[in-house]
Chains A and B, each alone.
Chain A
Amino acid sequence: MASVLGVAAQVNEAVARKIGAGLRAASQGPPDTLRLVVAPEELRSATEELLRLRARFLITVGIDARPLSADYRVLYLFSLDGEHLFVVLECAVSPDDPHVDSIAALVPGANWAERECRDAVGVTPDGHPDPRRLLLADDWPEGLFPLRRDFPYDYRPPAAEGVAPVPKQPPEGASVLPIGPFFPVLEEPSYWRLFVEGETVVGCDYRGFYNHRGIEKLGESTLTYNEIPYLAERICGICGFIHSTAYCQAVEKAAGIEVPRRARYIRSIMLELERVHSHLLWLGIAGHILGFDTVLMQTWRMREPVMWLAEEISGNRKTYGMNTIGGLRRDLPATVVAKVLKVVDEVERESVAVRDAIVGDTTLLARTKNVGVLTGDWARQVCVVGPPARGSGVPIDARLDHPYAAYDEVPPRLCTQQAGDTWARVLVRVEELLDSIRQVREGLARLPAGEVLAEVKDEIPRDRIGISVVEAPRGEAVHFVMTGGDNRPYRWRVRAPTYPNLQAMPAMIDHAAIADVPITLGSLDPCFSCTERVEAIDVSTHSRRVYSRQELLAMSRELTLRGGRR
């Protein structure tokens, strides 16, 4: 702990040296969080300094603090991974003219975060390279900012007619191939316009957030601290436990609640079981995209016992409902331990068999090697997380960088690959799957006795912040909580791992074949939903052709049948 404080002092000093009086205040909330209040005009210099110290940008949090201090606050969250420290750059923005300098030129990964902050809270990033709407629907009225405190959570704006997303202009001579608003690969709405020359992708444009549910607003306005975990759990349809864990940890950090050791172990075990079933699910879907349904059938068969196990432990196969502030609502019964071991033994044996089978499959290799390459450098710049980052040689893992639950005592092995292609991401996930099984075994062997819930008797104090990161199967999820009165957070911010990862997509499909787009997107394991139509518009003739999901899938699969020969 002393070293973290030492590092924090050094960072504080470095920033002070760089921006002088522009650093208005510095404080340490939870021991692993350094909060620096900087003058808005010094934000860029402060960011530069943090980047020099190899900080990684996480997310922006816009807060309407008018009821507290008559201003808006924009918080830029960074992580110094090796030093286990979070650094927050905080700017107070006047409500008369809510503008702040964009840092997207320094940190390409801040692109969406700044647009989102503008859409939700109304603080405009000056000099942003792509200031189009991100979060809000196209028919949402101008000047209405849903995350402002005076905006009612149940307000419904009138419907508007004749609105459409603002499209990006394709490069000269390229045709546009729109895919969406429902993407044909995974079950979620997302609208891509591919700019193509013949079969080759030369650029793309993205419009998403069709499924925006206003979860943060609900948490801040109608739910209470202990009701939010059940909402958080429903953010993701596959790995919900990571969100309830991250949320609870953020509140526990802010309030200084000590979670019993046993509860921390059980959280770790459940998180790893979740990774096991999620990676198996992903492997199946990847196979399905490539027309290799054997993998889909078999991995999903192997996955099912893990789901049943989760049901037996928690009471539900997916929404475990175990997490609560201060620990867990359910203990792990001693009787279930033997079953867990039996199931993971079986999953391990079968996963190894599947791995050994697919590594020799030349068709599979042809479809994934050198496909969707993400360079380590670009991965860092766009702040990519999780298996896509590790597959590109970026050695980050929230479980090691900011140990939570029981990862300080049962750490994971860092699984990295250098190639950055789809095959590298397959290898990372398979390796992680096997490592998760090891962690479950080790966690169970070392499981301490005792309570699983710390009783929270006192009121949670106001105006404290807590940042918690959790390594989800898809990468690092970030939850930020600023506590409020009224038994609920003043601000709750969630950043799911797909958020940064999707921003890497344009670079990954640049100069790819159209048939490789589905697997490239699929290889990010994006968490967004599925598909019925794809339509192609040839810009020169304005002719329009509608591809069905089957056709797009067929294009991808046909390439597999040709043995990956292009």
Chain B
Amino acid sequence: MLTAKLREALICFKAGRVTLPYPFAPHDPAPGFRGKITLDPDRCFGCGGCANVCPAGVIQVRDAGQLLRVLEFQWRRCTYCGRCEEVCPEQAITMSQQFETATDRGDDMVMRLEVFMGPCQRCGRCYVPPTPLDRMDRTGFRTGSGGRS
């Protein structure tokens, strides 16, 4: 019994101080950590691939007329899975290292991107195949038709 207690005491003694001084000293996540998504508006060409694969329904795509496509990221719902980053053909989305995302304002968690689209004068579509869009045809990149609108 006594030896058991001494052993336990030794384990504690050896451990020393463990608690990190965070937030007074920074504690950076490991490289490759999936933090808050960042968006490069210049790269996005509005294909909607990210919205197609997002498991949490963070990304909504709306077309305001023929020329304007609006992408809205309600990233309070984000699961930080990184699927949007993975499928984006233009690397417009990247998972940053940022994890300190607490806020008391809901608006802070909405990103809105307006993409100016140049549709083909004849068919009204933006691109003709083959385009990066074809990648979305693969199983798992497609969305189902029922359910969420």
Contact = CB atoms under 8 A, between A and B. Distances in A.
| Chains A and B bind each other | yes
Interface residues of B, number: 38
B146 to A, nearest CB: 6
B139 interface: yes
Chain B interface, DSSP helix/strand/loop, else mixed: loop
B138 A457 contact: yes
A230 interface: yes
Given A226-B140, A298-B15, A319-B80, A231 B34 contact: no
Nearest to B55: A227
B139 A460 contact: yes
Contact of A458 (B30, B54, B139, B146): B139
B139 A222 contact: no
A360 B12 CA distance: 17
Interface stretch (A69-77, A309-317, A387-395): A309-317
A315 B53 contact: no
B12 A294 contact: yes
Taking chain A's interface residues, is the majority helix, strand, or loop, or is none over half, making it mixed? loop
Contacts of A455: 138
B8 A361 contact: yes
A315 B54 CA distance: 17
B76 interface: no
Interface residues of A, number: 49
A319 B31 contact: no
A157 to B, nearest CB: 20
A357 interface: yes
Interface string B1-21: 101110110011001001000
Given A227-B83, A311-B29, A487-B139, 18 more contacts: A221-B147, A223-B55, A226-B139, A226-B141, A227-B55, A230-B56, A294-B8, A298-B15, A301-B18, A312-B31, A316-B33, A319-B79, A329-B86, A350-B11, A360-B4, A362-B4, A458-B139, A487-B143
28 contacts: A153-B147, A221-B146, A222-B144, A222-B147, A224-B142, A226-B140, A227-B83, A228-B55, A298-B11, A298-B15, A304-B18, A312-B30, A315-B33, A315-B80, A321-B34, A321-B82, A324-B140, A325-B140, A330-B32, A350-B11, A353-B11, A357-B7, A357-B8, A357-B11, A360-B1, A456-B139, A486-B145, A487-B143
**Chain A to chain B: the 6 pairs with minimum beta-carbon distance, closest first:** A222-B147, A227-B55, A357-B7, A360-B4, A312-B30, A226-B140
